[in-house]
Structure formats: structure tokens, C-alpha cells
Structure 1
Amino acid sequence: MTEKQAAGRLWLLLVVLASLSMLGPFSIDTPFPAFTRMGNEFAVDADQMQLVVTAYMLAFAAMSPFHGPISDAVGRRPVMLAGLSVYALASIGCALSQSLPMLLGFRVLQGLSAGGSVIVSRAVIRDMFEGAQAQRLMSKVTMIFGVAPAVAPIVGGWLLTIGSWRAIFGFLVVLAVGLTALVVFALPESHPPQRRTAFNATTLLGSLVQAGRSPAFHRVSWAASLSFAGQFLYIGAAPIFVVDLLGKGEQDFWMFFVPMITGVVLGSAISSWTSGRLTINQLVSGAMVFALFGAVVNLLLGVLPGTQSLPYAVIGPALIAIGTGASYPAFQLTLLDMFPATRGATVSLFTFFTLVLNGLAAGFIAPHVTGSLAAMALTALVAEILAMLFWVSHLRHRPGAGGRIMGKRAEPVRPT
């Protein structure tokens, strides 16, 4: 294979993995512009419509601990293909729903199946690459993945101009079928039989327990999850933030998502560029300080006279997103290196923590803090402060953890 062919295959792999990761944000964000129409048809208010997000997120979270361990036992591709097939059927059910309870039932089925591709695709990167190359690829996947929340509501708004809200779920059916084709024809199996674990309940649950009993795993997981929660609060409550607080319409979600995702892409680019130049500790610490700075700016703009409207209202979330985009790839690789033999289980448990927190934020915290820009900003600041406390605790307990230069050969971190 020539160098040019190898580079082409690497870019194809990058596109496939990023596309698989994008299924999650498309599932959440594409229906946002249709919330008003759906609420009118089902005769429910905005708070009840938030259940469309919560049902998906909590179902995703409930199943997320199992996708990874199963892929450790049977391989990555079978889990992805099974998940995408069920997701396509669930999306058809969403498109045909005649009531909010019926829609929520199929959203639960979407959430239960989506992790087969979204979660397992992250383990594929660490299966196939090490050190600086893994860091760069994870950052590029995050960069491409970061575009999805900006594109998804725009696609949803465009679909509403040519059809009803049901067309949005028809689009998700087509997306699932396209991703299935990519897995079948373009994604090699990265977890060969000789590396697989036994396919039984004891082994599958044991791999989760091993990670779950590690204090280091918890410190890093909660630092990453809480840091992202400060950003996701705005994503999960986007219909309220854009329509109710900023007074915009169903075609205007781009005014929020474009700055937000620009921040994610910029942060991911920083993460890729610093590979081999900064230690993981240095990168994550600097990124989290920047996210905390963004949360403080966000609060100030939310309370000062004359700054509680566009464009000021989106500056803070965008700054938080830069910090999150820079730290998240390093967080994921740090966790994956803690348990090299059961990477699927590790990324599953981490995803579980993140999604439970995000689901609770969207369904139970958001309705109580979305009455004003200041209340949302204060909640985001609290999340960033808690994230920083967990990270500082991790550094104090493991001052050398992740301290290697990104670009050296990755050595497993011994959890303590």
C-alpha cells in the first residue's frame, strides 16, 4: 500500500467514525425546531416537550453500560450493525406516532439502540492507534462530530419548510441506513477474536465493576461529565433558550448553534495541535480554566444591563465550548488507557455517567433554571466549578497520571 493510499484509508476511517458519532447529536438536535408544531399537535406545553429529549437521553444512558462490554466480547461491528438496525425501526415508529406517549416510547427505543454506534466507535480509535496519532484522530473526530449540533437543527428547520415534523424522523431513518452501509463496506473489525473477553454475564458485569471501583476513573469521569454539562445545559434547553428567552423562531437555531459549535471545533483543533507539545495534565488543566473563565463571562453577560440579548447571549456558551472541545479528547483517551483489555466497558461506563448527568440537566434541572439567562448562566458556572474540583482532586491523588507527553507511546494508567 502506498503512502497516498494509506492516507486515503485513514481519512475514510475518520469520516466513518465521525459519522457514527454524529448520530447522537442528530437524534437530539434535529427535532428541536419542530417542538412548537409537535406541542400544538399533541396539545402539550414546552416543559412536556422537553421529555422528548429526556426520554432519549435517559434510555441511551440506561443501555450505555452494556454496548461496550458486549463489543469487548463479540467485536465492534456486530454491536454497531444491530444498534443501527433497531434505531432505524424506532425512527419509523417516531414518524408514525399519534400522541406524545407513543412518541416517547419510540424515543426510548431510539436511545436504547443509538449507543451501539455512538459509544463503540470511540473504542475503535484506541483499538487501532496509540499515542499522538490516537490523540490527533480523536480530536479530529470530535471536531467533525462537533459540527453535528450546529447542522442538525438547521436540517430540522429546512425539513419543516417542505413537510411536517414527521419528515425529521424520516430523515433519521435515512441517516441510520446510510451509517449501516458505511459500517458494512468501509469499517474493518478493530477488535479481533484473540483480544475478546468471554461472553457471559459475570465477565461483562465484572469489567464494569472493575472500572466502577476505581477512584481515578470516577475523578476523571465526573470532571469531564460536569465540564460538558455546563455546555449541554444550553444544548438540551435550546428550544427554550432560542425561542422563549431570545425571542427567535424555528428557523433561527443557527444563531445559537453556529457559535457554540465553532467553539467546539476550535477547541478540538487546539487539542490536535498540542499533541506531542503538552502533557495531558497541562492540556486538560488549561482547557478547564478557560471553560471556567467562559462560564464567568457568561454569567456577567447574563446579569449586566444591555447584554441579555444576541449576540452577547451566545458568547459565554461558545467560550465554554472551546474549553470543552480542547479537554474532551484527552479525557476520553485517559480513561481508555486505564483498562486496555476492556476499553468498550470503560467508554460505556463513562458515557453512562455523562448521559445521566445530561439527561437530568435537560429534563429536571433545565425547567427550573430556564426562566432567565442569568439563572442558566449561574447553573453552568456551578457545573464548571464542580468539574474543576474533581480535576484538581485527580491531580492531587495522581500527580503523574496522564503526565506523559502526548505523542509518546501510550502506557496503561494504573487506576488508584
Structure 2
Amino acid sequence: MALITALGPITIDMYLPTFPDIAQDLQVSSHEIELTVSSYLLGLSVAQLFIGPITDRYGRKKPLLFGLGLYLLATISCALAPSFDMLLVSRTLQAFGAAACIVIPRAVIRDHYSTQEAAHALSLLMLIMGLAPVLAPMAGSFLGPIIGWRGLFAVMLVVAVLLIILCIIKLEESLKPENAVKLSAKTISSNYFGLLRHRNFMAFALSGGLGMAGLFSFIASSPTIFITQFGIAPENFGFFFGLNAGGLILGSQISVRMLRKHPSFSVLKIALLLGLGCCAIGLLLTLTGLMNLSLFVICMFFFSACLGVINPNATALALKEQGGRLGVASALMGCMLFLFGTLTSSLVSSWQTGTTLPLFTSLFVCIGISFICGRFVGRA
């Protein structure tokens, strides 16, 4: 499930270093090529809402294989795209296939484990999820000059084929027939509206989703902050960017150890408080003009480590009482996360001050609401 979930970050990040080559080949501007990321994220958000009900009706394995198959066909289209418009459409279809790789693994994990065990499993999943955003751009930087941007999509194609084979051989259906939900407009709308009215689900879904949305703000603004503001050489950007993935990995492993002795809700409350503290310190250093490269790296590393604890525990707690609508619940969580992430990254990108103020303001607001939802609204 962790390998399947990692397909999303790989698809987003691997081709980023080849943007200038794509723009040149398709005779468009680099700004237009950036739209292929936005279209992918938007498609990923919307598609999850459809995948959720399907997986609650037809199980986990068949919809996952269908999603991987659609992803495979869309990736072929990306690799062969003769124009920018074709690439844009193909990336959107790629997102619809990849959406199954986000929704279904969480549902499978919750099918098998209790809340505490699910939090443990999701923490381990974060280990691979933390590595993927680091390794994918590095692989793209290394392979891009050799095989070109179309060759990178061919690599994604190979990964999809391997995952399909792995699913066919290893994955067993985890949805019990008696838990299958009727697929109808009334049932689907009832489930989604029920989740929106469910206090604990919304509290923990917002807690985890808004926390991770802050990470999207960092991803969007990190090139400008590191390269333009702090003068980091472009070839060293990957190292500094990777430190935050290291924070996610560290946090996920701390979460695993804490869950052996403490309930998931207690672990989440501690991580939310520490995350809020990191953002407050970063915002204070920025406002007083004391922020420098070293302090920025330290603040972001510890914030990422807190997210490595917050996300798996908030996810497990949000799915705790969802029983026969796990797929729908997982889909709504994923949709909220990517919509918040798209919104925060867009706002930070459009608010340029030449400082880290937009980023830390975004982080503080996101984690502040996350803190309130997870600590005071949600109940264990």
C-alpha cells in the first residue's frame, strides 16, 4: 500500500527538472507547463470523490487495478503527447487513475487494523511517502538529460506495470461482501452529507488535511525562498528540499514508537502543540527580521517532523467510526487535503514580499485551525 501511495508524489515530482525541455519541445512558456501540475492536483482532488463510493461498492482490488490501468494509458499519452493541450488533458486523466492509489490504500489499512494499529501502519506508510518526493526529483535530474522528458514518463509507465503485477499477485480483497454499500445517488449523497455532519470525522480530517496543506505552501514557495532569497545554488536545492522529507520520515518513526505506549489521540495532541509552536517561532523570527537560512531550515525540519506524526494519527482517528463507508471517508479526506493544498500554495505564490512572511503566515493559520480541530473539537 505504501508503494502504491508513493505513485502520486513520483508522478508530481519526477518530471519537474525537465520543465524547460518540455516548454521548448512543445513551444510554450515554462509558466504554461506549470499548469500541468495544477491540472494534475485538481484532477486528483475531484477524482477521489468518485473513487470512494466505487470502492465501497465493488471492493478494493478491482477499482485499484482499474485506476492503475487508467494511469498506465494516460502515462502513455503523456509520453507521446504531440502538443501542450494533449499533455494537459493526459495529465488530468493520469490524476484520475492515480486518485485510486491515494483513496484505496487508506481504506485497505483501516479494513485490517484497529485505530491504534492503523495509526501505526499509516506511520510506516509515511516513511515511503517521505522518501518519494526526495528521490523522484533526484531521479528526474539524473535521468532527464539521458532519456529526455518523454523517457521519464516511460519510467512512470514501468512503475505502473510493476504495481499492477504486484497487486494481481499479492493483494487480497479486504472488503467483506456484507460491508458492500449500494451504489446509488441517494446512498452516495447520504454518505457524504453524513460525513460532513460527523463531528469527529470532520475535526480529524480538517486537522490532518490543513496540517498537510501547509506543506503544499512550502513546496510552492521553496524554490523562491531557497534560491532567490537565501542565494542557494540551484544544484543544491534538492539537498535543502530533501531535509524536510527527512523531517517527515523522522516524525513518522517517532509516531511509531510513541504509539507503543500512548493512545493515538494523545500523540496527535502533542504533535499539534509542537507544530503550532514551530510555526509561531518561525513567524516571530520573520517579523523581527532575525530569520536566516539556518533558522529557516531548522523551523521547517521540525514542522515537517510534526506533520509526520499528525497526518497518520489524524487519518486513523478520522476513519475510526466509518465502518461501511471507509472508501467514501478516505476519498473526502483526500479531496479536502488537495483542495486546501492547492488553495494555500496558490495564495503563497501570489503573495510575494521577498521574505518568508507569506509562508509562515500560511503555516501558522493552517496549523492553528488544525490545532483547534484536533485538540478541542475532536474526541478520542
- TM-score strictly above 0.5: yes
Residue in 1 that maps onto 2:170: 186
Query: Offset of 1:190 from its aligned partner?
Result: 0.7
Residue 25 (structure 1) aligned to one of 2, 6, 9:
9
Which runs of 5 or more structure 2 residues have no equivalent in the other structure? none
Q: Which has the higher helix share?
A: 2
1:226-277 Cα offsets, whole Å, 9 max, x none, are: 1111122122445545554455566444213321111111111121111142
Alpha-carbon distance between aligned partners in 1 of 2:23 and 2:360, rounded to the nearest angstrom: 27
CA distance in 1: counterparts of 2:31 and 2:137, whole angstroms? 19
Alignment of 1:264-275 (within 5 A): 264-275=248-259
Where do residues 78-89 of structure 1 align in structure 2 (5 Å cutoff)? Answer: 78-89=62-73
Deviation of 1:148 after TM superposition, in Å, equals 0.8
Helix, strand or coil for the counterpart of 1:204?
helix
Give distance in 2, aligned partners of 1:213 and 1:118: 23
CA offset at residue 304 of structure 1? 6.4
2:135 corresponds in structure 1 to 151
Q: Give, in whole Å, the separation in 2 of the partners of 1:272 and 1:307.
A: 32
Shift of residue 330 of structure 1?
A: 1.0
Shift of 1:164: 1.7
Task: Report the equivalent of 2:39.
Answer: 55
* 2:155 aligned residue (171, 174, 179): 171
Alignment of 1:62-141 (within 5 A): 62-141=46-125
Structure 2 vs 1, CA of residues 372 and 120 (structure 1 numbering), >3 Å: closer, same or farther? Answer: same
**One-letter identity of the residue aligned with 1:374:** L
Counterpart pick for 1:331 among 289, 299, 314: 314
Count of residues paired in the alignment? 380
Q: Deviations over 1:165-217 (max 9, x none)?
A: 22221211111111111111111111132221123332233222221222332
Q: CA deviation at 1:370?
A: 7.7
One-letter identity of the residue aligned with 2:334: T
CA distance in 1, matches of 2:375, 2:328: 25
Q: Does 1:201 align with 2:182?
A: no
Partner residue of 1:279? Answer: 263
Shift of the 252–324 alpha-carbon distance from structure 1 to 2, 3 Å rule, reads same
Gaps of 5+ in 1: 1-16, 396-400, 403-416
2:198 — aligned with what? 214
Contact 2:131 2:249 in 1 (8 A): yes
User: Any idea what the Cα deviations from partners look like across 1:356-381, whole Å, max 9, x if unmatched?
Assistant: 11122334542334854332233222
Equivalent position amino acid for 1:350 in 2: M
1:71 CA drift (Å): 0.7
**Distance (Å, rounded) in 1 between the aligned partners of 2:221 and 2:250:** 23
Bigger shift: residues 290-299 or 239-248: 239-248
* Superposition RMSD in Å: 2.4
Which segment drifts farther, 300-309 or 140-149?
300-309
Q: Could you say if the C-alpha distance between residues 134 and 217 of structure 1 is closer, same or farther in structure 2, counting changes exceeding 3 Å?
A: closer
- Relative to 1, partners in 2 of residues 1:361 and 1:125: Cα closer, same or farther, differing over 3 Å? same
Task: Give me the whole-angstrom Cα distance separating, in 2, the residues matched to 1:250 and 1:182.
Answer: 37
Within the candidate set 227, 237, 244, 1:260 is matched to 244
Distance in 2 separating the partners of 1:188 and 1:337: 22
1:289 to 260, 270, 273: 273
Equivalent-residue separation in structure 2 for 1:237 and 1:40 (angstroms): 24
Deviation at 1:280, TM superposition (A): 2.8
1:229 to 213, 217, 222: 213
Match of 1:318 in 2: 301
1:84-127 CA-partner distances (Å, limit 9, x unpaired): 11111111222222443332211111111111122101110111
Partner of 1:352: 335
For 2:7, the aligned partner's letter is L
Report the CA distance between 1:307 and its aligned residue.
4.8
Q: C-alpha distance in 1, partners of 2:183/2:374?
A: 35
Q: More deviation in 136-145 or 247-256?
A: 247-256
Structure 1 residue 380 and structure 2 residue 363: aligned?
Answer: yes
Aligned equivalents of 2:18 and 2:183: distance in 1? 42
Contact 1:154–1:253, Cα closer than 8 Å, also in 2: no
Question: Match of 2:148, SS?
Answer: coil
3-state DSSP of counterpart to 1:278: coil
Contact 1:295 1:377 (C-alpha < 8 Å) held by counterparts: yes
User: SS of the residue aligned with 1:163?
Assistant: helix
The residue identity in structure 1 corresponding to 2:104 is V
Q: TM-score if structure 1 supplies the norm length? A: 0.84
The structure-2 alpha-carbon separation of the partners of 1:315 and 1:135, relative to structure 1 and needing over 3 Å to count, comes to: same
Matched, 1:362 2:358: no
Judged with a 3 Å threshold, the aligned counterparts in structure 2 of structure 1 residues 285 and 251 are, in CA distance, closer, same or farther, namely same
* TM, length-normalised to structure 2: 0.91
Q: Spell out, residue by residue over 1:111-150, the C-alpha distance to the aligned partner (whole angstroms, 9 max, x if none).
A: 1111112210111011112244323212111222221111
**Residues 103 and 331, structure 2, Cα contact 8 Å, conserved in 1:** yes
